[in-house]
Chains A and B, each alone.
Chain A
């Protein structure tokens, strides 16, 4: 490895990474236990949690852990996810994104238009899942709500859970697709070249010490 390649940028500091993986692990557990109750074909997933009743007991608590951890993570990333004109242009050229032709795209800051869009989809999903989840949480909360609200919440919970699962599949795939990203969330660092290629505006800010890593 030559000298240039040793140059690295901190993209996520340890607290952010730990926070992210708490969200990720609780998401996977919440998704598996939720899907077990969603479709009979997936009911066998309930055995991962100790059977049907345990799945029913655990799912909402896991969900609450995920929501709390997500809120903390989202708060750290909120200001970097405002969608501006550049992001809209980026999103319009999604064909170039898919074909790895980043040279045709507008310069990207800390997050690109796709990541920002995902961020707001996740915020919406988590919010709806939390509210609808409380309404259908039979053991503690359902008695406070009219039956119509419970029925609406049941559909909303399933629907937004599905949107979240699909969005996270896209998110995980993005980490497999864009090489070097996964290391950002595990070891915290990216190479100069990675930052220059994918997040050039952010790269400039960091290198000229106008901002520090979060």
Chain B
């Protein structure tokens, strides 16, 4: 980030407020991905590569349409194709654009040990500042959606930025701009909720009784949301978690353990100090030396009478 941001509401490994004079007064942003409109053309993948100047290595076909097969340092969004067979034997192709969900309560940011490597802007975008990234991979451990990837080339963590650079100057993300079916839309979170409600109503009228919005409360809601035809079974969409939350292990590790750990270290050292000034050292004195010598002579006499 070349420009100074004054709208940082959260900053990794930082215990004092970040510069946040600028608020999101026109509302927080959100990207809405309507899975039911997606045709799997991957134009968004290409737009992401173009705008961000990313070129992943050409890999191998892994037997399905996922290409590349996984997110990576050079692939910040990928289409995941799931062939779902219904109980009645009919087949449905569930295609989901995978990438960072921009959680309101981001596990990556919580886990990150490097000050300022991950920030959350007032508008809701969670962004990695790779120049501060140390490559430890704690964000991968913290993310409930398995999104960040450590690049094999520079050992920095990468993921979708929600085109924070474009959004900062009033443009929509590159994937939104390019989507030919209008499956990806972008705007204020409020507007996206409204838009989603219309879409869901339409889907319900067409027989998708379980159509719904994916904006999981376990992570405080997300700034990337999905309209799903089967919102009751998000797992069908290549393992989208049903109730994502920051793992309790991560919460313990990055929560209570930190202050209590420092306290334990300080208390142990202080206890030693108090013992030294209160009770004092344990010294070997003349008496011990004399007794020891007497004992030694006795023992030697026993050995060599």
Binding site for B on A (CB under 8 A): 4-5, 7, 36-43, 46, 51-53, 55-57, 98-100, 102, 136, 138-139, 142, 147-148, 150-152, 154-155, 158-159, 162, 165-166, 169-170, 173, 176-180, 191-198, 203-204, 207-209
Contacts and interface: CB of A to CB of B under 8 A. Distances in A.
B262 A152 contact: no
B288 A43 contact: no
B207 interface: no
A159 B293 CA distance: 46
Contact of A43 (B13, B290, B295): B13
Given A192-B292, A208-B299, A56 B135 contact: yes
Contacts of A36: 113
Interface of B: 13-15, 113-115, 132, 134-138, 140-141, 146, 150, 155, 247, 249-250, 252-253, 257-258, 261-262, 264-265, 268-269, 272, 275-276, 279-286, 288-293, 295-296, 299-300, 302-303
Contacts of B115: 40, 43
B15 A53 contact: no
A196 B137 contact: no
Given A138-B135, A165-B265, A204-B299, A176 B258 contact: no
Nearest to A53: B134
Given A178-B282, A207-B295, A208-B303, A138 B113 contact: no
Given A152-B249, A208-B299, A40 B262 contact: no
Contacts of B282: 100, 102, 177-179, 198
A101 to B, nearest CB: 10
Contacts of B303: 208-209
Closest 7 pairs between A and B when the two form their complex, measured CB to CB: A138-B137, A196-B292, A193-B289, A52-B134, A173-B272, A193-B288, A192-B292
Secondary structure call for the B interface: helix
Contact of A147 (B138, B141, B253): B141
Given A162-B257, A207-B296, 11 more contacts: A52-B114, A53-B134, A98-B275, A102-B282, A136-B137, A158-B261, A173-B276, A179-B284, A192-B296, A193-B288, A203-B292
Contact of B288 (A37, A196, A207): A196
A39 B261 contact: yes
Which of B115, B155, B289, B292 has the most A CB atoms < 10 Å from its CB? Answer: B292
B146 A147 contact: yes
Contacts of A57: 135
A142 B295 CA distance: 59
Chain A interface mostly helix, strand, loop or mixed? helix
Given A38-B113, A99-B279, A170 B272 contact: yes
Contacts of A204: 295, 299
B113 A136 contact: no
Most chain A CB within a 10 A radius of its CB, from B269, B288, B302: B288
A40 B15 contact: yes
A208 B279 CA distance: 34
Contact of A138 (B150, B288, B290): B150
Contacts of B150: 138
A195 to B, nearest CB: 7
Contact of B252 (A39, A142, A155, A169): A155
A99 B279 CA distance: 6
A87 to B, nearest CB: 18
A116 to B, nearest CB: 18
A181 to B, nearest CB: 9
A38 B293 contact: no
Nearest to B113: A37
A47 B293 CA distance: 52
Contacts of B279: 98-100
23 contacts: A38-B261, A43-B13, A43-B113, A52-B132, A98-B275, A100-B279, A136-B137, A139-B135, A151-B249, A154-B141, A158-B257, A166-B264, A169-B268, A169-B269, A170-B268, A176-B281, A178-B282, A191-B289, A193-B284, A194-B284, A194-B288, A196-B295, A203-B295
Contacts of B299: 204, 207-208
A152 B141 CA distance: 10
A84 B302 CA distance: 28
A151 B286 CA distance: 56
